[in-house]
Structure 1
Amino acid sequence: MVQHEGIHHVSLIVTDLQRAKAFYEEVLGLKTIERPPFDFPGEWYAVGDTGQQLHLIVHNGETKRTGGIDTRDGHFAIRVRDFDETVDWLRRKGIEHTANRDSVTGFAQIFLLDPDRNVIELNAAKK
């Protein structure tokens, strides 16, 4: 049997590293962490303070996503402390998103796309 300890990292394909870094650092507020000297560009980020990571990998292929935000598409989720504060921040930054305070999941959800159209969920405990 596989004994899980948690998710270590999620990797996403990006086409423009500087544009992606601006989004993940300036919009989502993630902090960079040390990355091994691979022979291809990318960036690693800490997600929270429990050791979980997000890895960006530069790839010149095209993404498969062409439409808008689809909450049932493949995505990863980051838990945020405050739903309203996060929605307000995204609005001030001009980031298109879909927010649902009363999701049937039992927690509030916000969905958005990064510059390469990767779907991201930000969720918060209901108050």
Structure 2
Amino acid sequence: MASNLLPAIHHVALICSDYARSKAFYSETLGLRIIHEAYRAERDSWKLDLEVSPGVSLELFSFPAAPKRPSRPEAQGLRHLAFAVPDVDAVITTLNERGVTCEPVRVDEFTGRRFTFFADPDDLPIELYEA
């Protein structure tokens, strides 16, 4: 049996349209811990590192005049970002209290696990998957 060549995800990188709005969404609304923030003058760009879980981070970038990437309907490329959560209903309740609307909960036909989606400030689909 072949060994897993890629044993873990280190980070996911996102380019946002409004850095301050996305920073607040990911750090305050979703509660991800800020690890490091830097302004890169040569690129006129901010870079924010957020901890998702030990050893896994989300990198948030701002770039001037970055083009939009289609995400819906199903476009090629990154489809969505998924977070494993122990209780989908509890997270939905917290997100609703923080002004985030989630889609109705569905059940994965293959695993029987419950999941839902919501959107970040740039309409990136984010999934909550009950693990």
Determine which structure has greater relative contact order: mean sequence separation of CA pairs < 8 Å that are 6+ residues apart, divided by chain length: 1
Does 1:57 find its partner at 2:61? yes
Residues 1-80 of structure 1: matches in 2 within 5 Å?
3-34=5-36, 38-39=40-41, 40-49=45-54, 51-59=55-63, 60-65=65-70, 74-80=79-85
**Deviations 1:101-125, CA, capped at 9 Å, x for gaps:** 4222422212111101111111113
Q: Which runs of 5+ in 1 are unaligned?
A: none
Q: 1:117 aligns with which of 83, 99, 123?
A: 123
Task: Indicate the larger mover: 95-104 or 79-88.
Answer: 95-104
- If you compute each CA radius of gyration, which structure gives the higher value, 1 or 2? 2
Q: Retained in 2: the 8 A contact 1:9–1:55?
A: yes
Change in CA separation of 1:6 and 1:67 when aligned onto 2, cut-off 3 Å: closer
**Deviations 1:52-80, CA, capped at 9 Å, x for gaps:** 11001112323234869x7x971111111
TM-score when scaled to structure 1?
Answer: 0.80
TM-score when scaled to structure 2?
Answer: 0.78
Structural RMSD (CA):
2.6
Q: Which runs of 5+ in 2 are unaligned?
A: none
Kindly state the Cα deviation for residue 37 of structure 1 after the two structures are TM-superposed. Answer: 6.3
